[in-house]
Structures are given as structure tokens and as C-alpha cells.
Amino acid sequence: GQDSRSEDDKTHIAIVIIIAGGLLVLTLFLKLREQEQDDGSATTSADLTPLVDPVRREALRVAAEARRRLSEAEQQVRAAEEDWNFARAQFGSAAAEQYGRRLEAAKAAVARGFDTHKQIEQTPDSHAKRRLATTITEDLDKNLPPLQDARKEFDAQRAKRSSLPTQLANARERLVEELADLERSKEELSSIAGLYPASMLASLQDNPQRAAQLLESARAALETAGAHLDTDATRAASALDTAQRALTMANAQTDAIFSAKTDLDAFRERLTVSIGSVSTALTDAKQLDPSDAFSPLLDEAEAAITRGQRALVSDEDPLGALENLRDVELRLEAVLAPLMTQEEARRKATETAQRHIRDADAALTWARKYLKDHEGSALLDVNKLMSEAEQAMTEARKVLDEDPLRASAAASRATTLTNRALAAPGRR
């Protein structure tokens, strides 16, 4: 009986083990099946998700940029419209007419842009989106900058108007200085009249009278500017501009007298150089433009050369001949500049600047020696003018290679300052 029970126990244990093993196998089977289903689902999901389309992504980026530009442009146009209304009230409708046209063009571009952007949103075609977005930005690039320029122009005019009182005060001070220069120029002309024949000074005889007339015009214009400064800014600005031009022209008349001795001491050399420069420019003009478009100016150049050559031989009004040659040369250079290559124009400008630097250097050298040997050289005005002339020469040499036009202007300024120092009262 005991053996029978032992066998039954073994049988029960075996059955339990078999059942447990079966359950374990079933569990593993179910887990594996579930995992396979998850993998299949993930694979199907991945298959349904498309890769990122670079064409579409770029089209969306360009469209977003166009929308951003439209928003900015809309704000700019709104601000410009307010500014335009202010400009019309401040400067008058006629003065702001072009500003208004540019404003309307910009407003139309913005309106077109928003219409086009609606098309971008409605079309599924990426290439079409990008093309339409490009149309928007190109339209804005064409019509917004002119509006911005117009606004800057009126900002500059407002700044100039706000400084009218300061400009008027400076012009009044300059008038006082020019009147003092006029009296000194009369003394200088009388002084050099005893050194040179009248024929050599012929072109200077009327300079004091012309300068006096110009200064009277400047004085009257300054009175007009002052009278309307608070009530009519436009008229005040116009009168001030007239006064400043008259002051500049008067200064040219007196400076011609102050530079007379320097020019006369070396007039043969300077005439020869100017004749050569005008002759070269004349040849260049004929080669660059064989048409008759510049015939009147070329005729003037040939007449100036003839007059200069006559002055070399007869000493007949060399200053007038020299001034005529310089004037014609400047006008020829202005005509030739657009016809020359950039390299040719720069070479010409450098040659001119070098000549002006040589002239200024010669004037400074002579002035230093003269002022050292003569009483009055320590006068404050003289020292100030000579110091400014030295600074101008330093600038001319420094910028010669980089900016020959600026160098030429600085050298000419040095010569003018030197001549004014020589003509200062008490330096004889």
C-alpha cells in the first residue's frame, strides 16, 4: 500500500511539473506574439510617416520670410504716411509731392504682397509657393527703399532747419571776417601795385569792388533770413543759402589778391604747368569723345592755352590767364570723368593732387622764410593761419594715395591759408 501511494505522489508531481511547464511555454508564446504585433504596428506607422521634403521646407521658409517682410513694410508705410502729412504741413504740399508718390507706390506694393500671400496659403505646390514669395520680396525691395530715402531727405531738411539760428550766427560772423579781409585785400593790392606793372595785375583791379558788392548782397540776405527766422523757415533758409553763396564768392575775389604775389613770383612755372595740364585734358577729350558734343568747351580750352602762352611771352595779365586755365581745366576734368575708366580717372586725380601739393609746399616754404625775416610774424592771426595751413598740408600728404580728390582740396586750402597769413595786417 505504501509503494502504491509513493507512485501516486510521483505521478502527481510529474503532472504538476508538466502543467507548470505548459503554462510557462504558453506565457512565452503569448509574449512573443504580442511583441511581434507591436513591431509590425511600429513598422506600419513608420511606413506611413513621410520623410521631410527639403523643397517644401525651403518654400515654407521663404513664405514665412515674405510674411515677415510684409508686416515690417506695413509698419514702415504707416509711419511714413504720418511723416508725409507732417512734411506737407511743414514744407508745403509741392515740396512733399515726390514723397507722396513714393508713399503711394510703397502702399500699392504692400497691398499686392498681401494678395499674393493669400495665394501662397492656398496653393499646395511648393515651387509655386516659393515663386510667389519671391515676387513679394522683390516688389518690396523695389518700392520700399525710395520711400525710406524720401523720409531721410526730409529728416535732413528738418535737422538743417533746426540749426538755422546757429547757421545764421555763423554767417554773420563770417560776414564780419570777410569785410575785414576786403579791407586787407585793398591794402594788399595797393602794396603789390608798386612791385609789378599794371598789365600784370589787370585781372585783380575790379576784385575789391566785386567783393564789396557780393558782401552787400550777403548782408541784405542775412537781414532777410533773420527777419523771417521765426515766421517763415522756408524763406529764411533760402535767404541764408543766398548769403552763404555770396560770402563764398566774395572770398574767392579777395583770395585771388592774397595769392597774387605767390602766383606772380612763380607765374611762368605755374602757367607752363597749367598749359600742359589743359593741353593733355584737351587731347584726352578729343580721343574719348570725337563727336562735337564738347566743342564749345574745347574751343574755350584752346583759347585759354593761347592766352596763357601770350602771357608767358608778354607778361600780359598772367594772373587772369592762370585763373582762366585753372577754370577750364576743372570743367574739362568734370566732363572727362564719366568717359574715363576708373583707373584713368584716379591717375588724373592723383596727378592733379600732386601738383596742388607742390604748389602749396612752395607757398609754405616761401611764407616761412618771409615771416621769419619780417616783423609781425608772431601775430596771433598769422600763427593761427600758418598752423592751419600746415595741418592741411599734413592731411593732403596723408590721404594722397587713398583719396586724391580730398588731397587736392586740402592742398588748395593750405595755399589759401598761407596767402591769407602773408596778407595779415602788421606782417610787413
Q: Where are the domains of the chain?
A: 55-162, 163-258
Q: CA 219 → CA 212, 229, 243, distances in Å?
A: 10, 15, 7
Q: How far apart are CA 145 and CA 142, in angstroms?
A: 7
The number of beta carbons lying within 10 Å of the beta carbon of residue 411 is 27
Q: Which of 332, 310, 338 is nearest to 322 (CA)?
A: 310
SS3 232: coil
pLDDT at 304: 94
Looking from the CA of 329 toward its CB, the CA atoms found within 13 Å total 22
Percent of the chain with pLDDT over 90: 41
- Cβ(168)–Cβ(240) under 8 Å? yes
Amino acid at 192: I
> CA 218 to CA 224: how far, in whole Å?
10
Neighbours of 279 (CB within 10 A): 16
The tens digit of pLDDT for each residue in 359-387 reads 889 888 888 887 887 655 455 678 888 99
Query: What is the pLDDT, as a whole number, of residue 165?
Result: 93
Q: Rounded to whole angstroms, how far apart are CA atoms 20 and 30?
A: 15
Give 374-422 as a DSSP string: STTTT-HHHHHHHHHHHHHHHHHHHHTTT-HHHHHHHHHHHHHHHHHHH
| pTM recorded for the entire structure | 0.58
pLDDT digits (tens, 9 = 90+) for 62-82: 889 989 999 999 999 999 999
What would the mean pLDDT of 111-118 be, rounded to a whole number? Answer: 94
pLDDT the model gives residue 379: 59
pLDDT given for residue 52 in this prediction: 59
What DSSP line would sit under 272-328, residue for residue?
HHHHHHHHHHHHHHHHH--SSTTHHHHHHHHHHHHHHHHHHHH--SHHHHHHHHHHH
Mapping DSSP to helix (H, G, I), strand (E, B) and coil, where does residue 259 land?
A: coil
For residue 308, give the nearest of 281, 280, 270, 334 by alpha carbon. Answer: 270
**Element counts in the chain: helices (H) and strands (E):** 14, 0
Least confident of 166-175, 310-319, 336-345: 336-345
Taking the alpha carbons at both ends of the chain, their separation in whole angstroms is 160
